[in-house]
Structure formats: C-alpha cells, structure tokens
Amino acid sequence: MWTSKTLDTPPNDLKTGGCREEMVDADEFDLLTTERDPPPTRDEIRKWPQELKKMRKLELHRKRMSRFRGRLAVEKKNMHEEFHRLLEQRLVNLRCSSVCGGPERITQVQRQLQQLVLECEWFRSESETLRQNLARVRNFTQVIQSARTRRRS
C-alpha cells in the first residue's frame, strides 16, 4: 500500500507552490515512529508496577464508593417510602375517625396539614431527583467543554 507524503521545497518552485509530494510505502511510514519518543528509563520501568497498583487501588476504591453510595441511596429511598406510607396511613386514620365521629373530633385543619406534609415530601423527592439530573448534565457539559479545549490546543 502506498501513501502520499508532502515535503517542503524551496518557495522558488512555482509549479508546485513550495511543496512536492513523494510516494512512500505505508509500511515504512509509521506515525508512531515519527514521534521519536525516547525509550523509558530504568526508573520509569521500576515505577510501572507501583503505578499499576495505585491505579488498581483507585479503581477498587471507586467501585467500593459506588456500592456504598448506591446502598445509601436505597436506604434513603426506603426510609422516605416508609415515612410516606406512615403519613398516608395517618391521613386515612384521620379521615376514618372524622367520618366515624369518634371520641376525638378531627378538624379539617389537621387533615389539610397531613395532606400538605405528603405533598411537601413528594416535592422534596422530586427536587432531589431534578438536582441529581442537573448535576449529571453539568458534569457532562464540563467533560464536553474540556474535550473541546484539549482538541483546540
């Protein structure tokens, strides 16, 4: 397979506009070898296992923290669901006792207060969900912007 390679020539060559192309075998023209990175030193080679160990520890830490955060989120969700269930049960009991005309008279204000507490909990959970989604979007846009700035550099 053949590849075209542009070489600079003196600007006095008017036909080619200062450039000439030469055909080079693609196997000989390797982009990785044109960078000419120096071979790694002994110190760098000695540090590789340490760096791998550090990367492995970091990855395990990320996984552990992810599981921990997930467990906390599940516990928090269960706690909110239980609280919500208890509030609804209390509201049903208040309605039942007011309809049945039990010994304690339940005022309309108490029922409305229970209803407001339920709505407040729902809004709080909805707000938290929206806040998490907004944080994800912000992180995503930051990643995109940093990729754009790296590409421009």
Q: How confident is the model over 42-79, as pLDDT tens digits?
A: 888 888 889 999 999 999 999 999 999 999 999 999 99
pLDDT at 118: 81
What percent of the chain is helix, strand and coil (3-state, nearest 5)?
A: 70, 10, 20
Closest of 99, 100, 93, 145 to residue 114, by C-alpha: 93
Q: Are 6 and 16 in contact (CB under 8 A)?
A: no
The tens digit of pLDDT for each residue in 77-121 reads 999 889 888 878 887 777 776 666 655 556 776 777 778 888 888
Phi, psi of 29 (to 5 degrees): -95, 85
Model confidence band, residue 1 (pLDDT cutoffs 50, 70, 90) = very low
137 vs 83, higher pLDDT: 137
Token pair of 140, please? 């995503």
Distance between CA atoms of residues 54 and 34, nearest Å: 31
How many Å is the Cα radius of gyration of the chain?
A: 34
pLDDT at 73: 92
pLDDT at 63: 95
DSSP 38: P
> Does the pLDDT value for residue 20 go beyond 60?
no
Q: Where are the domains of the chain?
A: 48-153
Which segment of 14-18, 105-109, 145-149 scores lowest on mean pLDDT?
14-18
